[in-house]
Amino acid sequence: MRRMIWSLSVCLIAASATAMDSITLEVSAGDHDRQNSLVSLPLPKSLESYHHFTLTRTDNRQSIPVQLQPGESPSVVWILRDKLSAGAVRMYELTSATKTPATSDGVTVDDDGKRLTVKVGKKPVLVYNQSVVTSPDAKHPYYAKSGYIHPVYNPSGKVVTDDFNPDHAHQHGIMFAWRKTTFEGRSTDGWDQKAGTGKVEHVELIDSASGPVFGVFTVRLRQVDLTAPDGAKPVLNEVWRVNVYGLPDQFLFDIESTQSCASNEPVVIDKIHYGGLMIRGHADWQKHKTFDYLTSEGRTKKDGNHSRPNWVDMSGPVAGQITGVTILNHADNFRSPQPVRLHPTMPYFCFTPSVLDSFTIKSGDSFVSRYRFCVHDYEIDKEIADQLWLDYTQSPRVRVVSNP
């Protein structure tokens, strides 16, 4: 009898360990057509003990890659690949699983100790430089830099960004630096390395993860005052969370920056006409003057400087192929829509709230900035970019229809 009871207990435990919980979801397109749109759902309580899931369309039983976004408020994320027309809904079944199924378009984050390389499938998307990249000009070693993204690739494998361009060697791929700040009464500058008053540097890799829907890494940076009387002193601590999504035909990634004071002293971001999140475009665009901008307001390099668009696209030919990058400014950003510095003759621009006036980051506060990047190897138009921005700021609505 004891043996029978023991055997029954083992069977019940095994059955419990393999039991799967499932809920039914409804995704609504809303007022706009949706395609290649990110969908996110806060993890329901009935599934909060699980880490892996499967997702199935109920109309055709198609399996859809899905991934858990961990954190204080975990969520499940997938990409709505097939078009969902305005006003339409689509039903899914989300089920707990013992592991996350692999996919050929999965995103990998590889750490070689010096840089993080992110790929969609076998295609490289971007590189984040943890280690210091030395200046190619031995006469100007102060241009050495860490804590930035370069190169960024388009889906055809061509590089979109530039680094150490001789005309502005302090502009590095994608970086975030304030041009002029005041700290403890001193003027510091994390942007212009030649001035020698400040710098922005990588501190540590916090975490990274690969997956079927997105790859993610979180890094810590800091802005340093190089003029402090007792030696270099941290001014701002910064955390980047970078999510790269598994879209092979257009690369989509998000950068979320959270800045906070490194001491009890406030930091004033002084009024100036540039500084903030910046991207430097391909060297060919500078050499041949073949680039242009397009903004959400229809402006270009002729008339877009210091306008306040929802998004900016910078593009031009690279090795005979049109390529470019669209940067979307999140509606919740400080002073959004933020002014932009669109340089009329050099392929770089930045979102720069300091154009309007100075502002202060106080001790204990968090200054959060969110941007989405779409890297493309086709000529983007306003309608496509507007749709990208709507997806970013007004994502498809998801609701739980049945929850056991």
Six token digits for residue 279: 């991207």
Can you give the pLDDT at residue 105?
Answer: 83
CB 244 within 8 A of CB 216: yes
Can you give the pLDDT at residue 251?
Answer: 97
Specify which residues 207 forms β-bridges with. Answer: 218
Q: What is the DSSP letter of 339?
A: P
Task: Enumerate residue ranges in the chain where pLDDT < 70.
Answer: 1-20, 403-404
Alpha helices in 116-171 (DSSP H): none
CB 221 within 8 A of CB 190: no
CB 114 within 8 A of CB 215: no
H or E segment at 90? Answer: strand 89-97
Nearest CA to 292 out of 323, 252, 338, 267 is that of 323
CATH of 107-393, one of 3.30.70, 1.10.3210, 3.40.1000, 2.70.98: 2.70.98
Can you give the pLDDT at residue 20?
Answer: 67
Find where tokens 């043996």 sit. 3
Kindly provide the residue ranges of all beta strands, DSSP E only, lying in 233-320, ordered along the sequence.
Answer: 233-245, 251-261, 267-269, 276-280, 292-295, 311-318
CB 127 within 8 A of CB 150: yes
* Cα(396)–Cα(404) distance, integer angstroms: 24
Find where tokens 């402006």 sit. 299
Count the residues in the chain: 404
Six token digits for residue 273: 């006409």
Can you give the pLDDT at residue 103?
Answer: 82
Find where tokens 């621009």 sit. 349
Nearest CA to 274 out of 199, 194, 349 is that of 349
What's the pTM?
A: 0.93
Q: What is the DSSP letter of 229?
A: T
- How do residues 22-59 score in pLDDT, each as one tens digit? 999 999 999 999 999 999 999 998 899 999 999 999 99
Six token digits for residue 18: 């393999």
H or E segment at 144? Answer: none
Can you give the pLDDT at residue 39?
Answer: 97
The CATH fold assigned to 21-101 is: Immunoglobulin-like (2.60.40)
C-alpha to C-alpha distances, 357 to 61, 79, 177, 326, nearest whole angstrom: 54, 39, 17, 26
Can you give the pLDDT at residue 404?
Answer: 59
Six token digits for residue 363: 């001790």
Can you give the pLDDT at residue 5?
Answer: 39
Return the domain boundaries, the chain.
Answer: 21-101, 107-393
C-alpha to C-alpha distances, 338 to 16, 83, 95, 347, 354, nearest whole angstrom: 53, 31, 41, 19, 9
CB 263 within 8 A of CB 234: yes
Specify which residues 126 forms β-bridges with. Answer: 118, 152
* Cα(187)–Cα(198) distance, integer angstroms: 9
